[in-house]
Amino acid sequence: MEELKQLCENIKYLPASEKPLSADVILIETPDFICVYDVGSSEKARSVIENITKKKIVVLSHFHTDHTANLSRITFDELYAGKETVRYTKAGIVVNQELCLSLLRIMPIPSVHAKGSILLCYGEYAFCGDACYCAAKNGRPFYNAQLLKAQIDLLCGLEVKYLALSHKEGLLCSKEEVVCELKKIYATRNKDSSEIWLE
């Protein structure tokens, strides 16, 4: 599959697209199964996932449709997701604490972008979906101070080098760089408000 990019020996991904809005689809190959982190919404993403012949374990980063819409159009063996996502998919195992699947670790990550966001760690990578992004109220972007602090603490404790952020060109950022950006935003909080407005 030529559209697939190779991240390292065992990881390939289909980059996100804008038209249609479809998130990156990550494929991690282990001896026993292929883990698919996010299923996207595009036909291309669907066919990449359907071409997998090995046992397929799907992990969804969060419930937004650009990450999940293909779920009803693919086959899979197991599904893991956050509570809010399972409410939407009506299928799958709820991840409410850290779980290990072979060499993969999946865990909830506090996020203002979407409740029930799930992080996946493999080797020196942590796949974050949209969890590090802000949310918006009436078109104004913001973070929630408490969730942002909890997210920074979780990211700091991860023994990975890179964070993979969905929709980002090239997918990877150094963990240090992202944590540094998030800390800068957290430093602008106002004690009287739980929201940190970016504009």
Residues that bind Zn ion (CB under 5 A): 64, 130
Least Å distance between CB 106 and Zn ion? 17
The dihedral built from the CA positions of residue 40, 46, 47 and 48, taken in this order, carries a sign that is positive
Least Å distance between CB 185 and Zn ion? 18
Q: Is 141 helix (H, G, I), strand (E, B) or coil?
A: strand
Of 57 and 60, the one with the shorter C-beta distance to Zn ion is 60
CA pair distance 79, 89, nearest whole angstrom: 10
Of 23 and 106, the one with the shorter C-beta distance to Zn ion is 23
CA pair distance 43, 48, nearest whole angstrom: 9
Least Å distance between CB 109 and Zn ion? 13
Least Å distance between CB 29 and Zn ion? 26
Q: Is 99 helix (H, G, I), strand (E, B) or coil?
A: strand
CA pair distance 172, 55, nearest whole angstrom: 26
Of 34 and 111, the one with the shorter C-beta distance to Zn ion is 111
Of 24 and 130, the one with the shorter C-beta distance to Zn ion is 130
